[in-house]
């Protein structure tokens, strides 16, 4: 889930949510904190170990992963200086499975950041192709900042020229899912409309459910048959995003 600041989400009850869910793995994006700023329970809540890849800029970006089992390997970043400086990729490996917390840049602040987003998308494409050829299974959990299809956004007509629903962005997800073979795990078990994970803070968007589905769990083809259930947790609000909770029939080694 995108926490929009882990310390803020904590004050809104995130710790209790984690305790109740007892999830094996929890991926966080936009933690907006460095590790020394986190309390002991934020670093290791509810019987979990916490792993973090922070942005260099204070109060900005950052990803995290809470895990109940110790991973075989932890990978912070992709070796891309500009991307890694913003803390956007954290990977835990368990035997043949890799789980990634990914925070794709938003382009909504202006053209310069939109170009950064396009650049990262272009650089991720060959990597994502390579990942599917490496024989591992993958779960990429993240705020992708793109609504894929009309069903994934309430006001699709009015947003076709806005970042997050641009034709080029949607075509990139077409490439990932239709050509490369990655799987939108949520849509394996839920094909309904009005399934959103983010709502603007403007215009009573939350109350009216005028949202976007921009948070995903993207899995390798071998895990398609392991997807058991999906739900968007809207009973509490920890940020402007809602947690996407998924269950897989896959035992961690």
Structural domains of the chain ordered from first start: 6-248 (3.60.10.10)
Contact between 229 and 186 under an 8 Å Cβ cutoff? The reply is no
Helix (H, G, I), strand (E, B) or coil at 250: coil
Nearest residue to 220 (alpha-carbon basis) of 132, 133, 134: 132
Catalytic member of 143, 152, 184, 215: 143
72 given a catalytic annotation: no
> Rounded to whole angstroms, how far apart are CA atoms 87 and 81?
10
Taking 90 as the threshold, does the pLDDT of residue 252 lie above it?
no
Distance of CA 98 to the CA centre of its chain: 14
Residue 191 has a pLDDT of 97
Nearest residue to 146 (alpha-carbon basis) of 162, 158, 127, 130: 162
User: For residue range 175-201, what is the model confidence (pLDDT) as tens digits?
Assistant: 999 999 999 999 999 999 999 999 999
Taking 90 as the threshold, does the pLDDT of residue 203 lie above it?
no
The pTM of this model reads 0.97
Taking 90 as the threshold, does the pLDDT of residue 26 lie above it?
yes
Q: What is the mean pLDDT of residues 122-150?
A: 98
User: For residue range 209-242, what is the model confidence (pLDDT) as tens digits?
Assistant: 999 999 999 999 999 999 999 999 999 999 999 9
Q: What is the mean pLDDT of residues 3-28?
A: 97
pLDDT band at 253 (very low <50, low <70, confident <90, very high): confident
């Amino acid at each position: 889930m995108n926490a929009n600041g882990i310390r803020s989400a904590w004050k809104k009850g995130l710790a209790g949510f984690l305790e109740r869910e007892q999830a094996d793995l929890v991926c966080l994006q936009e933690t907006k904190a460095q590790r020394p700023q986190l309390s002991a329970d934020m670093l290791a809540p509810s019987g979990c170990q916490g792993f973090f890849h922070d942005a260099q800029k204070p109060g900005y970006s950052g990803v995290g992963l809470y895990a109940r089992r110790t991973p075989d390997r932890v990978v912070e970043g992709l070796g891309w200086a500009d991307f890694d400086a913003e803390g956007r990729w954290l990977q835990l490996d368990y035997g043949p499975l890799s789980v990634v917390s990914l925070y794709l840049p938003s382009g909504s602040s202006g053209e310069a950041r939109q170009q950064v987003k396009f650049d990262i998308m272009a650089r991720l494409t060959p990597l994502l192709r390579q990942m599917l050829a490496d024989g591992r299974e993958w779960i990429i959990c993240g705020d992708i900042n793109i609504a894929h299809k009309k069903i994934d956004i309430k006001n699709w007509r009015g947003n076709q020229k806005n970042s997050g629903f641009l034709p080029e962005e949607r075509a990139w997800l077409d490439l990932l899912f239709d050509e490369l073979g990655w799987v939108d795990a949520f849509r394996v078990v839920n094909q309904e409309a009005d399934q959103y994970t983010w709502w603007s803070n403007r215009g009573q968007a939350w109350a009216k459910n005028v949202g976007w589905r921009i948070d995903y769990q993207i899995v390798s083809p071998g895990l398609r048959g392991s997807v058991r259930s999906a739900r968007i947790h809207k009973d509490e609000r920890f940020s402007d995003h809602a947690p996407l909770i998924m269950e897989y029939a896959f035992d961690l080694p």
